[in-house]
Structure 1
Amino acid sequence: MSRKTSHYGFLPLLMLVVALLGVAPGEAVSFALADRDREQAIRAGKKSIVLEEFGAEWRLRDASGQTLVVMTPFHRLALAARNSAFRGAEIKPRDIESVLKDHTGVLSFWATLRGNKIDFARFYTPTLMAGSLPVKASFVQNERTALREEDGKYAARCI
């Protein structure tokens, strides 16, 4: 990874994993959810509270501990339903609408990168490569100061 641009070469693999292991073909990567998809996301979130690992189909980790999470509207709604279920409550219709309002039509990538300096990721600009065509992010937010981990490396979350 360069200082100015970070290319995620493992994204095609991640998208394949999402497509193959998703809740149902194509639904986990939908950018707008129909009523049936909303119900399925809420059911998946509620059911996930008994699972040790939630969201593995949306998460990829490399050998150095860097992670990438694909945040689709389906995943975000399932996560909100999961959080409500942990509190012993039903997710409220206004919460559903709020989640979907902020995430419909949007594909977000949450990356946790590791580096040697506290500000290593501050100026990273991610570029998604679709073949030879670069796709620039519409929004980038990087942590200004990364968190120091036990091994002395720093971890920064980039959205």
Structure 2
Amino acid sequence: MSAALASRLALVLLLVVAAPASGASLALAPGERARALQVGARSVTQEAFDREWRVANSSGDSLIVLTPFHRLVLAARNAAFKNETLKPGEADRILKAHGERVVIWASLHGTRADFARYYTPRLIAGDREIEPSFVQNERTAQREDGGRYRARCVYGFPIRDLTGTQRLHLVVRDADGHDVSRFTIDLSTMR
């Protein structure tokens, strides 16, 4: 085999292996679990390993989508930082504890320390509004340079209402029902 052909084959293999799947895996098969653990263990040398799960909007707010695949990647990454692997059964425990929902870590900005306290999130999927199964808004946001505050909020949504290829909108509303932040989440670009 020529060196040029070998180089082309290596490039094709790299692109196929590194490319995200054709949508978020909301229920992981054994092969997907193994792949997530492998991606997590190898991610210790990559700063932007989780780019596919990060979303930002035009107002400077951002979020991280924790799919079941991403959860296992993070667990394997944390273990790899300690030169360990996940213990037998640990992946099953992680998926069982969080497997029935997609979790979103949102970083939102406001003008007062308690601005996010009564925020309510909704996922919009087509003409359906999906209510969260879990909401934790930061009660006292962190003050940033320039006088703005940043609150870290955690939202969980049931996966029974989702497919791994949907384009969703996360809408966060204040206590009066006004939209304060909006994100487009394309699950087809995530694993």
TMscore range, shorter length: 0.7 to 0.9
What is the match of residue 51 of structure 2? 56
1:107-150: CA deviation from partner (whole Å, max 9, x where unpaired): 11111101010000000010111223211111111111111112
Q: For the structure 1 residues 63 and 100, does the alpha-carbon distance in structure 2 shift closer, same or farther, using more than 3 Å as the test?
A: same
Say which SS state the counterpart of residue 158 (structure 1) adopts: strand
Partner Cα separation in structure 1 for residue 98 and residue 48 of structure 2 = 23
**Residue 102 in 1 paired to residue 97 in 2?**
yes
Counterpart AA for 1:47: R
Q: How is 1:14-25 mapped onto 2 (pairs within 5 angstroms)?
A: 23-25=20-22
Contact 1:149 1:155 survives alignment (8 Å): yes
What is the match of residue 13 of structure 1? none
In structure 1, list runs of 5 or more residues that go unmatched.
1-20
What is the match of residue 120 of structure 1? 115
Q: For the structure 1 residues 61 and 101, does the alpha-carbon distance in structure 2 shift closer, same or farther, using more than 3 Å as the test?
A: same
Alignment TM-score, normalising by the size of structure 1: 0.80
What is the match of residue 36 of structure 1? 31
1:15-66: CA deviation from partner (whole Å, max 9, x where unpaired): xxxxxx963223xx11211110110000110111111212110001234431
Rg larger in 1 or in 2? Answer: 2
Counterpart AA for 1:37: E
What is the match of residue 74 of structure 1? 69
Counterpart AA for 1:125: T
Identity of aligned residues (%): 49
More strand per residue: 1 or 2? Answer: 2
Q: How many residues are paired up? A: 137
Alignment TM-score, normalising by the size of structure 2: 0.67
Counterpart AA for 1:126: P
In structure 2, list runs of 5 or more residues that go unmatched.
1-17, 155-191
Contact 1:72 1:103 survives alignment (8 Å): no
Partner Cα separation in structure 2 for residue 134 and residue 158 of structure 1 = 19
Counterpart AA for 1:149: E
What is the match of residue 134 of structure 2? 139
